[in-house]
Amino acid sequence: MNQYRVLIQAPDSTGLIYLASKVFFENNLNIINNHEFVDNEQNMFFMRSVVSGDIDARQLKDLLSAALPERATIKIKLARKKNIVLMVTKEAHVLGDLLIRNLEGQLDANIVGVISNYNILRPLCEHFEIPYYHISTENISREEHEHKVLSTLEMFDSLDYIVLAKYMRILTSEFTKRYKNKILNIHHSFLPAFIGANPYKQAFERGVKIIGATAHFVNENLDEGPIIEQDIIQVDHSYDWVEMQQAGRDVEKVVLARALKRVLDDRVFVYGNKTVIF
């Protein structure tokens, strides 16, 4: 018996829930859970259903396509572990957290490799028996480096997502377009404030009383992709920017882990530059 996550997005109209549920009922599918949302400003309907039963995914999609309006977008996701690659630079806190969570079964993922422009984090990955690919940036152009990274990514069959776990290099638009809505990043700031390098120092100079982190999909605009998860902690005048940075690392770990879990569970709809998350 298969379990599917059914994701439906369509212009809102009367009876959409009924039409989808009718298909489930007529094909002896059990609805395990169901969520829906209507964006009234955009007149857009979103629905995520988890169903189980004996039916082929292609057949189910064809039946739903026939029942729902022509402009409906339908995705059928088989409940399975996703294949992900982590990209890192020097900092270990986010990488280590994800490796531990995955070892404990908290993430429904296969970490098929870690790519880094430094060799510093190789021992950590070897401890978890994760393949590590060091692609140095020394004495090569940005374009050459990205080409090598892309060639390495193409080695993996059925790669679902790339996670920038403190990867401190800006990706070109050619790279991000190739993996549209497939690259997750953790930004050490509560976006849209303090974009770019050293946001903790920017926050300190501004005298903020909260600091945070934002997990988002990566697009061609720096730190402006659709936001998946955010959180904050309080700070005060006694913190210098280094202490803010140290406190912020705990937020970064939690925010990225939450965002990745939502994405791996097929709970995130992207439309425009926003997300709907069930």
HSE-CB for 24 with a 13 A CA cutoff: 22
Tens of pLDDT, residues 39-56: 999 999 999 999 999 999
Indicate the pTM of the whole model: 0.91
* Residue 240 annotated among the catalytic residues of the structure: no
Mean of the per-residue pLDDT values of the chain: 93
Contact 255, 232 (CB under 8 A): no
Name the residue among 24, 45, 23 with its Cα closest to residue 33: 24
Tens of pLDDT, residues 62-110: 999 999 999 999 999 999 999 999 999 999 999 999 999 999 999 989 9
Contact 132, 125 (CB under 8 A): yes
Domain range 2-78, CATH class:
alpha beta
The reply to whether 82-277 shares the fold of 2-78 is: no
State the catalytic residue, choosing from 39, 97, 223, 266. Answer: 223
Q: Which CATH superfamily is domain 82-277 in?
A: Formyl transferase, N-terminal domain (3.40.50.170)
Give CA–CA dist 120/73, Å, rounded: 44
Tens of pLDDT, residues 102-145: 999 999 899 999 999 999 999 999 999 999 999 999 999 999 99
Boundaries of every domain in the chain: 2-78, 82-277
Kindly give the pairing relationship between strand 109-116 and strand 132-134. Answer: parallel
